[in-house]
Amino acid sequence: CRFFRPQQTTSSESEMVMEKETAEEAYLRLGTGGHEKTVDQVKSLHDFSAIDLSKQLVLPKYVAFKGDNDMYLRARIIQKYNYLEFSSSDIADSTVVNTIFPNYANGNVRIKSNHFNRFWRLSPNWIWADSADSSSRDRDTLFRVVMLPDYIGLQNLGNSRYCKRLTADRKTSCLNAAVDTITLEARLRVEEAVLSREIYGVEFKLSEARIYGEKPITFPSMTSTNDTNEPHAKTLTLKYEETQAKTWSSTVSLKIGVTAKLRAGIPVIAEGKVEVSTEFNSEYEWGSSVHTTASQEASYHAVVPPMTKVTVRAAVTQGSVDVPFSYTQRDILTTGEVVTYKMDDGLFTGMNNYNFQFEATQEPI
C-alpha cells in the first residue's frame, strides 16, 4: 500500500509526498509548530499536491555546500562539539566534503561529514555532525531537499524547519534549522567535490528511442526555363544551412558545476529510424545543449523539355529524438580519490533534419 505524506514548504503552502511506509508509520504533518494529525483526523487531501518521487533528481554523492556569505560549509569543533560552519573559501578543503545518502522510497537524504565521519543531526536546533546511527529511524538525522533553479533548501524532519546560516550563542555562521521558509540565509548552493570527470562507455538503447515533433521544412523553389526546340540537361543546386542540437543528461543523478570529458556517439534520425553516427569527444557541460550549424548543398539533375519551365521544390523533415543510455563515470575527487560509477540513467535528446526530397513540376511556356 502507498501512503502520502504532506510536508509544509512555506507558511501557506503544503505538499503531499508519496511514501512506501507501513500504516503505523504513515502520518500527515499539518500547519506549523510540529503539530501532527493521524490519517483518520484529516478530512480532505484536496489542499495538497502529489509529487512523484520517481521523477525527482538525486543530489550527487560527494558535495560541498556554500552559504549566502559565499563561504563553504566546513566541519569544525566548537566548544567540544562537531559544528558545521560557513567559513571555508576552498572546495579542496577536506573539511567541506559531505556524502549524500538518499532514501529512494521517500526522497529524503542523510548527510555525512567526511571529516568527522558522522551524520548530520539536529541538536537542539544546531546541526551537529555527530551521529553514528546508520539507520534512518532518527528523524533528527533526516533532511528533505527542496530543489530550486539556483540553490536548494534543506529541511530537517526533526523540527520541520529549514537550515540556515546563523550567528548566535557565541557561534558564527553555523548551520541551524531555524526557519519555516527558505530565507536568504537558508539558500544553499551545492557543488560537487570533484576535480575532474570523464564519461565514457556510452551504450544507447536504440530499441527504446522515441521520435517526436516531426515537421516539414520547405526551401525556396528553383526554376529552369528551356525556350529552345531541344531538351536541355540542367543541374539545379540548393545551398542551405542545417542545424543540429544534442544534449546528454541524466534522469536521476544530478551533476552540478563539473565539466566532463565526454566520449559518446551521436544518435540521429535517418529514414524514419534512429542510428548512431559520428562520435562526440570533447569537454562538455552535462545537461547543456550543443547546437551546430553546417552549410550544405543538394543538387537536382533535370532534363528540361523544349519550350518548358521546370520548377523544383525541396523539403526536409525536422524531428527530435530521445534515447536512453547507460554509461561509465570516472571522478577524481578533491581528496585525490578516484571513484568509478556504472550509471543507467542517461538520456540523449537530439534534433536533426532527414528525408530530404525534391519535387519537380513542368509547365509549357
| Residue % of the chain over a pLDDT of 90 | 75
Of the candidates 233, 223, 214, 252, which has an alpha carbon nearest to the alpha carbon of residue 313? 223
151 backbone φψ class: left, alpha, beta (φ>0; ψ -120 to 50): beta
Other beta carbons less than 10 A from residue 94's beta carbon? 15
Amino acid at site 95: T
Q: What is the mean pLDDT of the chain?
A: 86
pLDDT at 10 > cutoff 50: no
The dihedral sign for the CA sequence 290, 148, 177, 140: negative
Tell me the CA distances in angstroms from 93 to 72, 80, 158, 261, one per residue in order.
9, 21, 29, 24
187 vs 179: CA distance, rounded Å: 11
For residues 249 and 58, the model is more confident at 249
Number of neighbouring beta carbons within 10 Å of residue 251: 12
pLDDT of 43 strictly over 60: no
Task: Name the β-bridge partners of 334.
Answer: none
Model pLDDT, residue 258: 82
Q: Are 353 and 217 in contact (CB under 8 A)?
A: yes
37 CB-near residues (< 8 Å, 6+ apart): 27, 28, 30
Nearest Cα neighbor of 319 from 273, 280, 358, 286 is 273
User: Residue 29 above 90 pLDDT?
Assistant: no
- Catalogue the E-assigned strands of 150-231: 152-156, 161-168, 171-179, 189-192, 194-204, 210-218, 222-226
pLDDT value of residue 56: 56
32: pLDDT confidence band, cut at 50, 70 and 90? very low
Taking only Cα atoms into account, the Rg of the chain, rounded to an integer number of angstroms, comes to 29
In terms of phi and psi (left: phi > 0; alpha: psi -120 to 50; beta: otherwise), the region of 31 is left
pLDDT of residue 16: 37
Q: Which of the four pLDDT bands, split at 50, 70 and 90, describes residue 254?
A: confident
Please compute the mean of the pLDDT values over residues 171-200 and round it to a whole number. Answer: 97
pLDDT for the residue 364: 95
Instruction: Tell me the torsion sign for CA atoms 214, 325, 258, 109.
Output: positive
Q: Examine the pLDDT at 365 and tell me if it is beyond 70.
A: yes
Please give the domain boundaries of the chain with CATH numbers for all domains.
Answer: 1-53 (no CATH), 56-192 (2.80.10.50), 197-364 (2.170.15.10)
Residue 272 has pLDDT above 80, yes or no: yes
pLDDT number for residue 134: 85
Which pLDDT belongs to residue 57? 67
pLDDT tens per residue, range 285-344: 999 999 999 999 999 999 999 999 999 999 999 999 999 999 999 999 998 999 999 999
Is 132 exposed, middle or buried (CB count within 10 Å of its CB: 0-12, 13-18, 19+)? exposed
Give 305's DSSP letter.
Answer: P
d(CA 365, CA 362): 10
Give mean pLDDT, residues 88-99: 96
The per-residue pLDDT for range 276-298, each reduced to its tens digit, is 988 899 999 999 999 999 999 99
Q: Where residue 37 falls among pLDDT bands split at 50, 70, 90?
A: very low
Closest CA to 63 of 74, 52, 48, 50: 74
Q: Give the span between the Cα atoms of 97 and 74, in whole angstroms.
A: 8
Place of cell 480532505: 44
Per the CB < 8 A criterion, the answer to whether 162 and 176 are in contact is: no
Give residue-wise pLDDT tens across range 114-156: 999 999 999 999 999 999 998 889 999 999 999 998 899 999 9
Helix, strand, or coil (residue 22): coil
Q: How confident is the model at residue 253 (pLDDT cuts 50, 70, 90)?
A: confident
pLDDT value of residue 58: 81
| pTM score above 0.75 | no
